[in-house]
Structures are given as C-alpha cells and as structure tokens.
Structure 1
Amino acid sequence: MRTGTPRTDGALAKLGRFCFRRRRLVLVTWIVGVMAVAFVGFTYGAAADNDYSGGNSDSAKAQALIEKHFPEQQGDTLTLAIKAEKGIDDPAVRQRIERVIADLDASPITGPVTSPYEDEKLVTQDRRIARTTVPLTDKDAVKTEVKPLVDTVKESSGDGVTLGLGGEKAEKAETPPQGPAESVGVLTAAVILFIAFGSLVAMGLPIVTALLALLGGIALMRLVGHVVPAPDFAVIFAAMIGLGVGIDYALFIVTRYKDALEGGDEPESATVKAITTAGRAVLFAGTTVVIALLGLVVMGDGMMTGLAVATSVAVLVTVVAAVTLLPAFLGFTGHRINSLRLPRRLSRRHRADGVPSRGRRPLAERWAGVVQRWPLAAAILAGGFMLVLAVPVLSLRLSMPDASVQPHDRSSYTSYQIISEGFGPGYGAPLIFATEVDPSGADLRPVVAAVGETEGVASVTPPRVSKDGQAATFMAFPTTGYQDEATADLVHTLRDDVLPTASGGEEVYVGGPNAATVDYADGVSSRLLPMIAIVIVLSLVVLIALVRSVTIALQAAVMNVLSIAAAYGVIVAVVQWGWFGPALGFPTEMPVTTFIPVTMFPLLFGLSMDYEVFLVSRIREEYERTGDTRLAVTRGLARTAKVITAAAAIMIAIFTTSLLGPDVSLKQGGLGMAVAVLIDATIVRMILVPAVMELCGKANWWMPGRRAKTTWASQAGVGEEARV
C-alpha cells in the first residue's frame, strides 16, 4: 500500500520554506522581538500573586471580617523565639537578648517590639524559653530588607542561647535562589543531545532555540500577569516545562531534518519535510499540552488559573519557535548540521524498510518482538507493576509547607522548634474565629467555652470586639502542629459539630492560615476529578484528530493515567512516608503540597501525549504501508525509540534538577514529573504499547465512519519515507 508524500503547498510547507529562505529576517525578528519583550516584561511585568485563600470558604469569610473590622491586625509579623539553657534572667543572657530586640526594634521596616521581660505571657514557667512578635510596618517588604534581621538573630546565637526568627517573610528571606539547577539541566541536555546526534552543531540548535524561546516566554508571561496574576513559583515551573518541551520539540524536528538529508534531500526540501511531518506533530503535541494545562481553569482557583495561563504562554512560544526559528537556523547550517563531530563509531544505516544494512535488527525492534510473543503476560506484569507503585496514593494527604518542613539549618525552623517546645506545636497553627455582632455586643462566652472544651484544643484567648462594635474575634491553639492530620480533623470537628451546637456559634467562622490550608486542600480535592475528566476528554479529541483511531486514543488515555498514578504513589512514598526523602533533599516527612498533584496531572497527561503522538504517528504510517499491525509496531518502535529515549532523558534531567533547589514544593513536582516520564518512556512505550496493540490487532485502527480506502497517511500528508 503506497502512502502519499508530504504536501509542498500546505500552510506548514509554505511556513517552513519562507523561514528557510528568509532566515536572516526571521532570526533578526526573533532576536529583536525577544529583547523587546524581555525589556518590557522584566521591567513592567506584574507582581506575583500567591493568594490561595479566596472563594466562599469559612476561612475566606473570617478573613474578610477581620480585614474589614480589625484593620489594626493587618500586616505581616515575625516571631522571635529564644531558648536559654541558663534561663533568660541570667545577666549575660539578658544583655544579649535585649541587644537583639533593640536591633530588631531599630530596623526601618519594623514597628515597636515588646520585650518578653515586660510581659510574663511571653515566657514559659521555667523561664528558659521566650517569644515575642516583631511587626513589619511595610507589608511589601522584600527579602533583601528582611534578610539582615534574620542574620542578626542567627549571629546572636551561641554559648547556650539559641534564637530563631520565624514568619512567612523570614522563610522567604533565608530561602536561597534556585541556583544552578536550570544550568545543570541545560548541560545535561547538551550531553544527551550530543550522544544522540554526535555533532556539536546538531546538539546546539535545539538548545539555542529553546533558550531563546524560554526567555521570550517568561517575559511574556510576566506581562500576561497583569490580566491573569500568577504565583511566584510560576516562573520556575514554566522554566522547567518550557525548557523541556522546547528542547524536545526542536529535537524531533532536527532528527527529521537529518533523516531527510541522509535520504538525499537538499537542505530546503529537508526543512520543508521536517516541518510538514515532525513540525505538524509538534503543533499537535504542543496544543495537547496547552489544552491539558488550561484544564486547571476548571479548578476555579485564581492561583491555579494564573499558573495554567502563564505556563501555557511559555509552551506556546516554544512551539512557535520550533516551527519558525528552527527552520531559519537550519537554513544557516544546511549540510553542516553534522559539523564538529567527535570521534565515534559509525552508526548502522537503515534501509527504507527499517532493517539495518548488516541484517541485524535494532534492539528496540527485537524487544518489541519479544513482547509481542507474550502480549498478555507483558501487559499484566507492566500494568500490575504500575498499580503497585500507585498504591501509596491511597494515603495521600495535602497541605501547604510551613516552617516545620524547612531545612533544619534555617532560622525559621529553629523558631518553630523553640516555640513548639515551649508553647506547644499548635502555637504555629492558630485558629482564628470571627463573627459579626450587633451594636450591643454578643455574648461569645458559650462559643469560647465550647471551643476550649473540644478535644485537641490546648488553649483559647478571650474574645475581642472591634472598635466599631460590629465584629468579634478570638483564637484557639491546637495541641498538634500545622502539618498534623489531627489539626485538619480538628478544623472539621469545630465547624461540623462544635460551633453549630454552641449558643451563638452558627455564624462564627473558623479562619487563619491553618484553616485556609484545610479549605484549599478540600477545594482542590472536590474539583480534581472533574478537572481530570475534562483534560482526558479534550486530549482524546486532539489525539483522535491526529491518529484517526478511537482505540489508540483510549489506550493512550488509560496508559497515561496509570503512569501518572504511579508517579503520585512514588511522591507519597518519598515525601509523605519518608522513603529516601533525606537523600533526595526532603528534610522531613511531610504532606504533599496541595497544588502539586493538581498541576502535575494535566501537565504530565499532555507530555505523555507528546510521546504518544510521535510513536503512534510512525506506527500508523508503517501500518498504512504494510497492512501488518505487528510489523508496524515493531518498526515504528524501532524508528522512534532513539529520539523518544533522548527526549525523555532530557525531560528527566531537567525535572530532577529541581531536587538541587531549595523549594520543597518544586522538588515534589520535579520528582513526580521525572518519575512519570521515566515510566512513560520505559514501561509504557516499551512494554504496554506493543503488548496492548498486539492484543487489539485490527481493532487498533477502528474509527467510526472510516472509509475503507482512506489512508491515514494521505489525510495527514505523511510520506512513505517520513520518519519522526
């Protein structure tokens, strides 16, 4: 069966030809455009928005009441924690503590600091541990302004006196920058590309294309932030994703270009072939990633929407660069694509039918043959292995990181540890109750008493009425810490059982950072399944449009869900159970950060579809040429194994570099995505795909309303010799 040849008059062919011929114009346009966008974006870009407490939750209502009626309680604060082995009343110790408090009080960004020697409630009974609050007068104080305060406190520790400065601003101030993680990822990608191509020129093109696109994409997402604000971690997140897909997409196109040159094409026609085949697959793959990411909008959460839009912008720019900037680069390199080669063994050349000239079939093709001889056993073993990896996800717990999960050399962790020892672990997880009252005031004593008698509550403060007499608030301190499951259970108990039965408690809202974290986790959990369903359905539509097979699209969806579930299980085992956690950079056992699973699913689903597109496209082409499903699978796998393996290795390298950084949430995401890509490129592509396609046989190509004489290749415009 003879398939068609790549179209030379289609939109993609015209685009590739234009970029090749007008390469200087295209290159200059890209450089000037990126420089202009970068200048505007990094100069006038929108500020990050990390607010996850909005909506109609109890904590949001409590916060709204506090902001409206207690303006004096607004603003960030730091907590100074003090532990003295000899007691804080020792003359030398007291002199040191008072000097630190004076230094903090004298800072231009702090308000008056109350000395623990002036308030007995700030000191434990044994007088060994004390605390005080350091108010920040500038709510927009940046980390460079807070860092000197942290340094002052840390430098004052020693000789039996330990001091720590806690609070969100302090945590951010002492968190080091991401460091060389991205650089390590780029260097690793360069090594992988050189191994795959054997040429420094061919290695450099994907990296240069991806880096230029990434710079423009991040700058553009900063500008888009004025319309859809994004959280501060969106830049690092988009950098990982944009760099990974940018290099991968360029890798696929460069590989196809090299194949065309080896087949006898001139550089221009080889570029057109690369764009009309691999470039077309890149457009589909990038579209799938963007659609999957925009599935986060379904969550109805502003922070997730901002992250989805920002990352989608970065991915779109890399796609545009792959089909415009890269053809221009190919125009400059021409036949010199293989220049600057280092000594290496000559790789075996393949004939048109995919068989090596020396008669020995590629390893991937021989492996596929082995799997196809025992397809049912292979499918059961591979699927069972992934289900075993997914088992830990049944105990998944969600929360947001706090000082207790930070590296133990941080001042914020020291503050948490001292406060927990002296005043209980719940001091860092206060619950703030707020309610409206009538002008005559409301008697909250029954509510306060009911809350104080609840199991799991250590202490309750007296209620305070606002100056306008329209609202009241009080606080309760749990017996357990911020990350403890019992603390989240306490929030639900208070809301569901205690407040509704207490006199006047029906309109009392439970708020505070801890309750906001619980509400956010509950909201994410309730919307996760609808988001997953929408992402799967939309991605299936795109994949069906490309491969013209409902069966293959459904296979891809099921396999992708399995690989993602396995990645979730690994995250829970490492992060939550602590398996190999310290070795991978996680200081202690902790719940999984709330937004990590929900952001991982659409992204990984989209990335997995990328590899599905490139592999199944080649299998479909071989099937149209031979009419033999088994032969099509083995040859399709052989033709794409090298490039997909290299692409996956690049993704894994970039994602795992997040483990070198300081952010525990990004480490979780990077670990999970690296595991998912590894599973997808090995177990799924090398075992499940050939096994399941062998079991399905002719049913692989089922498509409602398909006409018997219509070939996929003629619809897609892929030629007999087209190889990704």
Structure 2
Amino acid sequence: MATDTPRTDGALARLARFCYRRRRLVLLAWIVGVIAVAFAGFGYGAASDNDYSGGDSGSAKAQALIEKHFPEQQGDTLTLAIKAEKGIDDPAARQKIEKVIAHLDASPITGPVTSPYQDKDLVTKDRRIARTTIPLTDMDAKKTDVKPLVDSVKDASGDGVTLGLGGKTAEKAETPPQGSAERVGVLAAAVILFIAFGSLVAMGLPIVTGLMAVLGGIALMKLVGHLVPSPDFTVFVAALIGLGVGIDYALFILTRYKDSLQDGDGPESATVKAITTAGHAVLFAGTTVVIALLGLIAMGQKMMTGVAIGASVTVLVTMIAAVTLLPAFLGFTGHRINSLRLPRRTNRRHGADGVPARERRTPAERWVGVVQRRPLVAAILAGASLLVLAAPVVSMRLSLPDASVEPHDRSSYTSYKILSEGFGPGYGAPLIFTTEVDSKDAALRPVVEAVRKTEGIAYATQARVSKDGQAATFMAFPETGYQDEATADLVHKLRDDVLPQASGGEGVYVGGPNAGAIDFAEDTGSHLPLMIAVVIVLSLVLLIALVRSVTIALQAAVMNLLSIGAAYGVLVAIVQWGWLGSAVGFPTDMPITTWVPMMMFPLLFGLSMDYEVFLISRVREEYERTGDTRMAVARGLARTAKVITAAAAIMIAIFTTALLGPDVSIKQIGLGMAVAVLVDATIIRMVLVPAVMELCGKANWWMPGRRAPKATSASQAGIGEEARV
C-alpha cells in the first residue's frame, strides 16, 4: 500500500472528526430524525401514481376525451367469468352462479350487477361460458375491500363450475405483499459480511447503517411524492438499491478503517483516513448513481421522473449515512471492531509460512498475471462472451403485464382463461375508439364498419354519443391477446391505414389500456437512446474529473455498456424466450415489462461505476508509485478483489431476493440487475479490465494537454487511495 498521508484539514476530515467525537449526538440525531421522517412519510406520504398515460399519443388523446365527455366510464370494474361443464342452465350450476352474483351485488363497494341469465350477449352460443361486469362504486376501493370478493368467487368453484374474478383491482387485491424478500437479502448480506470480515461487530455496522438509511430514505421519498408522484414499484426498487449501495458503501469505508488500524493508526485517525479516502470515493460513486438515475428524466414520462427522484432521494440518504452515521458507530467500537471474531488459522499480517501477507502474491494477483501474458486472447474471449450473452436483446419486446402472465392459481388468471376460451383472447385487450362530434345525431357507422371488417378484429360494438353530444365512442376486440405482437401490429394498421381511409375516420383516436401500453412501450423505445446518451455523457465527465484519464473513462463506459447489454440479453432469454423461466419463478413466457430496461440502465451504469472507481483508484495509486502499468493493474486488482467481490456478492444476494416475491416486473428487474453485477464482477473486472489496460499500456493515462505521470510516491503526486484517484 502506498504510504500516502490523506489530508486531515479538509471538509471531509473535519466532518469525520466531528462525527467521531460527537458520536452520541450524531447517533441520537439520526435515530430521532429517522423516526420523525418515518412517522411523517409512512403516515402522511403521498399515494402512489401508476398512471403511464399522457403526452401526444393516440391513446392519451382518447383517454382525455373519455375523461371529459364520458365521466360514467371512469369507475373501475370487475369481471366475473363463468364456465359450467354442463352449461350454465344446469340447475345445480345455476344455483351456484346466482348465489355468487347475489353476493357480489350485495357488496357495499359494488354497483348493480347484470345477470348473464338476463342478457344473452353475456353468454356463448353453447351456453357453457358466461361473463358479467361488476362496477365498483368506490373509486378508492382498497385491496382489503376487494380481496373478500375475490376469495368468495374462488372458493365457489367446484362441481363442474369454474369461476374467476378479473380486472385490475382484482389483480392487485390477490397479489400478496412482497413478503420477507428484503429480510432474506439482509440475512444473505450479513453472512457475506461475516465471511469477509470474520467479526460479528464488523458485520453488523454496514447492516445497521444501511437499514437506517433505507428506512429514512424511503420515508423521505414518500414525502417528496407530494411534489413528484411516483408509481408503487418505486418503493421496492428504492429498497433494493438503497440496501445494496448502503451496505456496500459502509463496507468500503469499514475495510479502509480496518486497514488503517492494522497499519498502527488509532481509531480516530483511522476513521478520518477512511472517510477522507474511501468516504470520498463513496460520495463520488453515489453521485454517479444519482446522476444516472436522474437521466430517467430525459425519458419525458412523469412516471419515470417520479422513479428517478424517489430512488435518488434514497441513494442520497445512504451516502450521507456512510460519511456521518458510520463514523459515529466507529467512535463507539474503536479497536473492538474485530470483536466476536470467526476463528482463523492465520492472521492477516503473516501467512502460515511467516511471510507478510502484503508481500505475498494473492490468487487474484496470480490470475491477473495469466491474463496479462495473453491480453489480446483474453480480451477477445471476454468480449465475445459478452456479445453472445447480449445477442438475444435484438428480439426484446416491451409490454406491461396483464392477467395472462399472472400465476395460474390466481382468480384473475382463471378469469382470463375462461374469457379467452369463450369470447376470444382479445376480450382482455379491447380497443376504445373515441372522437369529437358535432351533435348527438352524429353517425360513426362507416368508421365502425371499416374497423369491423379489418383483418384481426373479432367484433366491434355500435358507437354511442356522450350525454353532452360532443364526443362518441365504440369498442373493438382483437382476435389476439394483450401480449401478442400481432395486437400491436393491428393497432398500427388501424391508425395508419384503416381510419384515415374510412369516411369520418379523421380525428378518431384509438385508446384503451391495450393501446396505452403499446404507446408507452414505443415512447420508451424512442426515448431510450437519449436517456442512455445523457447518462453516459454525464458519467464520463464525472469519471474523467476523478481519474484524470480520457482513456480509462471511455474504457469504463464501453465495458459498462457490454455488461448491461449482457444482462438485457439474459433477461430476454429467460423471461421472453422462457429458458429456465419457470425455474426462477416466472409463470409463463412474457415480454419484458416496459419500464424495466430503462430503469435497469441508469442503475447498473451507476453501480458499475462504483466498482470502476474502487478498482481504478488503486491501480492509479500503484501507477503513480511505480510507473509500471502491468504491476499497477496486478496490485490494484489484488487489493480490491476481496472487497469488490464481497460488495458484488451482497448486491447479487439482495437483487435475487426479488425472485421470491409475487410481482413479475420486480422479478425481472431483480434478475437483470443480479446478472449484470455478476458479469461486471467477473468477466469485466477480472478479465476485460486487466486485458484492455495491458494492451493500452501508458495510453491508459492519456489526458489532453497533460504528459503521462512519472513514477513517484503517491504522497508527492498528491494522490491518496480511493479518494484522490
């Protein structure tokens, strides 16, 4: 390790010293602050907003007309699907069906229910399958209000009669909470930290710091939601990211603290050194994650803006906790950081052969030597592997989940299957056509007929005019389902060919949940390149300022893109193609949830930069000391391998716990991020980075207008460890 002397008079040093010496005050302030914010946030925070509509899309314009002229259509509804093997007119079946309908009709949260026995259009020709719509009178009906209705319908099935209750509210009502996934992740992180540090005390500090930061961050995020609303999945995403970075940041600082104690520093000096070196890198890394998250604003979608702001708030709180709360904890532990140790056969300073540990070649250093002897071969193999993993991304399809991708034991899935069998797969994917008209006598018959005759349309309803006579609407049902690519093609055909050519078709908008999901996916795809460019440019500027090398910054950007592309490819293969999908908890093949790729990119780009900072900072330090790139890469990677591996293992453990939950979209983002971190910590950091840096040689340190640095001591060059890269 370079014999550098970190600054002890800077702002971070003063902050670290204050938090160490006033540890009781700092800890009390954190406890009181977190409790107060949690009380306010969880008690009075803003409700989630899952509206992905808006903008200038056809579905957005159709929705605006419906909201303005058809207020009676704004309430949510449930759909009861009925299948009777002997037909719904069988006496036993009819008694069961009418009992269920009466129960639904008597509920205080439902409006009048039309029995399929009263309307033949609600029954198939063979009288085996029927449906009816149940309006909800309470616009804000809670899951706890709807869940009993779902359970009663589900329990009534049997004796040749199958019943299912569908609709968005029913889907939410029967979706169980995420459960103990986060607790499993924290437990896994604790085990990894105990193995890495060998001490219960050292293990506990990152866990406690991370948990307090995440609790405060999420509560604060809910309060910020009054200004910038965010969707309901933001909480879980923020918890995943907050726990991951919060524990990792504390891990980096704690590792530096323990090294300083081992070098003979006292607890206060070690704390100051840890904060002014690793703490400085943590602030940079966290800032990179925040900047990457804020890149979501470039998508121009209010839903993603809410996610960006909400998740950024949580990351900011974890950064603050790392450089304030953790130094206070270190003030309490002091030299007792290694208390309650795991038994070891050798100590850290000397191995079994008596050779000082820092003078022995570690397995990581020996591995780098292998890569450096054949750098071109290693780079080609690693790059080819990443490209193979990324290949499936070219067939990625985006959509929003519906009942067809729910677990098959759900009532909403049962409803979907029955309705698809009886009324066609497109029954759950209706298209709503809306337009402005001049009077109540306005006729849309030519438009309706043109839509009805379009290939791919199963049937269409008659048009009806609003009560104010200013708008008209009708519905059409495709022959294909919500998730089918043919349905999206049909929407484009209607908009581009059928409506413009039909008499009176100009000004008719195609909307509804299905068309809205299609527009959302296409809007996301069109804005994704801009968001990627913004994130890359801002991160590059920040990284160049830190490492003072254009070459290394560009290397980092390209490698991050490769690892993210590989994660996208694996996600497509598992989720969309179904390779091992059932083994990791996906009930069926499905398109990738629209917001998952754009959420993954900034998060993963920022997190990858974290590892880049901690690796390259050590490499830079060694190069400043020796002037030998090959030796600097080998030693830098050897010194960071253990901590980066532990940090990556913690991230992977936390992200994969998302697979234990019920939400298929959260499962996707957890799987994708776990794969990306695994690829980044193995193929990228262990193979591609040393191979490419070996090939570049002194060009690694190129910076316009500056000569390559000469070999000198880190202290003479003003270069610290993680902080002064």
TM-score range normalised by the length of the shorter chain: over 0.9
Deviations 1:308-360 (A, max 9, x none): 10000000000000000000000000000000012232254379xxx954964
**Structure 1: runs of 5+ lacking an equivalent:** none
Q: Distance in 2 between matches of 1:60 and 1:461?
A: 21
Q: Is the 8 A contact 1:79 1:134 kept in 2?
A: yes
Q: Which residue of 1 aligns with 2:155?
A: 155
Q: Distance in 2 between matches of 1:548 and 1:398?
A: 39
**Structure 2: runs of 5+ lacking an equivalent:** none
Instruction: Give the AA of the match of 1:678.
Output: L
Structure 1 residue 198: Cα displacement? 0.1
Deviations 1:392-444 (A, max 9, x none): 00000000000000000000000000000000000000000000011263321
Deviations 1:87-124 (A, max 9, x none): 10011111111010010001000000000000000000
TM-score, with length taken from structure 1: 0.98
Instruction: Give the AA of the match of 2:272.
Output: V
Q: Distance in 2 between matches of 1:2 and 1:432?
A: 68
Q: Which residue of 2 aligns with 1:96?
A: 96
Instruction: Give the AA of the match of 1:542.
Output: L
Change (3 A) 1:193 1:639: same
Structure 1 residue 74: Cα displacement? 1.5
Q: Is the 8 A contact 2:41 2:220 kept in 1?
A: yes
Q: How does 1:6-17 map to 2 (within 5 A)?
A: 6-17=6-17
1:255 aligns with 2:255: yes
Q: Which residue of 2 aligns with 1:239?
A: 239
Structure 1 residue 706: Cα displacement? 2.3
Structure 1 residue 498: Cα displacement? 0.7
1:141 aligns with 2:141: yes
Q: Which residue of 2 aligns with 1:664?
A: 664
Q: Is the 8 A contact 1:295 1:602 kept in 2?
A: yes
Q: Is the 8 A contact 2:116 2:122 kept in 1?
A: yes
Q: Is the 8 A contact 2:251 2:647 kept in 1?
A: yes
- Give the secondary-structure state (helix, strand or coil) at the position aligned to 1:432: strand
Structure 1 residue 705: Cα displacement? 2.2
Structure 1 residue 203: Cα displacement? 0.2
Q: Distance in 1 between matches of 2:246 and 2:704?
A: 35
Q: Is the 8 A contact 1:371 1:687 kept in 2?
A: yes
Q: Is the 8 A contact 1:3 1:625 kept in 2?
A: no
Q: Distance in 2 between matches of 1:125 and 1:205?
A: 67
Q: Which residue of 2 aligns with 1:76?
A: 76
Q: Which residue of 2 aligns with 1:51?
A: 51
Change (3 A) 1:358 1:244: closer
Q: Is the 8 A contact 1:49 1:231 kept in 2?
A: yes
Which one is further off, 15-24 or 433-442?
Answer: 433-442
- Give the secondary-structure state (helix, strand or coil) at the position aligned to 1:162: strand
Q: How does 1:396-475 map to 2 (within 5 A)?
A: 396-439=396-439, 441-475=441-475
Q: Distance in 2 between matches of 1:380 and 1:146?
A: 56
Q: Which residue of 2 aligns with 1:675?
A: 675
- Give the secondary-structure state (helix, strand or coil) at the position aligned to 1:116: coil
Q: How does 1:202-217 map to 2 (within 5 A)?
A: 202-217=202-217
- Give the secondary-structure state (helix, strand or coil) at the position aligned to 1:632: helix
Structure 1 residue 718: Cα displacement? 4.2
Q: Is the 8 A contact 1:59 1:512 kept in 2?
A: yes
Deviations 1:552-601 (A, max 9, x none): 00000000000000000000000000000001000000000000000000
Q: Is the 8 A contact 1:5 1:720 kept in 2?
A: no
Q: Is the 8 A contact 2:75 2:135 kept in 1?
A: yes
Q: Which residue of 1 aligns with 2:703?
A: 703
Q: Which residue of 1 aligns with 2:62?
A: 62
Q: How does 1:338-353 map to 2 (within 5 A)?
A: 338-349=338-349
Change (3 A) 1:721 1:512: closer
Change (3 A) 1:721 1:286: closer
Q: How does 1:288-687 map to 2 (within 5 A)?
A: 288-349=288-349, 356-357=356-357, 360-439=360-439, 441-687=441-687
Structure 1 residue 73: Cα displacement? 1.4
Change (3 A) 1:350 1:323: farther
Change (3 A) 1:18 1:359: closer
- Give the secondary-structure state (helix, strand or coil) at the position aligned to 2:117: helix
Q: Distance in 1 between matches of 2:716 and 2:517?
A: 50
Instruction: Give the AA of the match of 1:149.
Output: L
Instruction: Give the AA of the match of 2:624.
Output: E
- Give the secondary-structure state (helix, strand or coil) at the position aligned to 2:274: helix
Q: Distance in 1 between matches of 2:539 and 2:713?
A: 19
Q: Is the 8 A contact 2:224 2:310 kept in 1?
A: yes
Deviations 1:115-149 (A, max 9, x none): 00000000001111000000000111010000000
Q: Distance in 2 between matches of 1:716 and 1:52?
A: 52
Q: Which residue of 2 aligns with 1:34?
A: 34
Q: Distance in 1 between matches of 2:468 and 2:359?
A: 89
Which one is further off, 356-365 or 132-141?
Answer: 356-365
Q: Distance in 2 between matches of 1:73 and 1:469?
A: 16
Q: Is the 8 A contact 1:547 1:712 kept in 2?
A: no
Q: Distance in 2 between matches of 1:721 and 1:94?
A: 74
Deviations 1:483-502 (A, max 9, x none): 00000110011001111111
Instruction: Give the AA of the match of 2:17.
Output: R
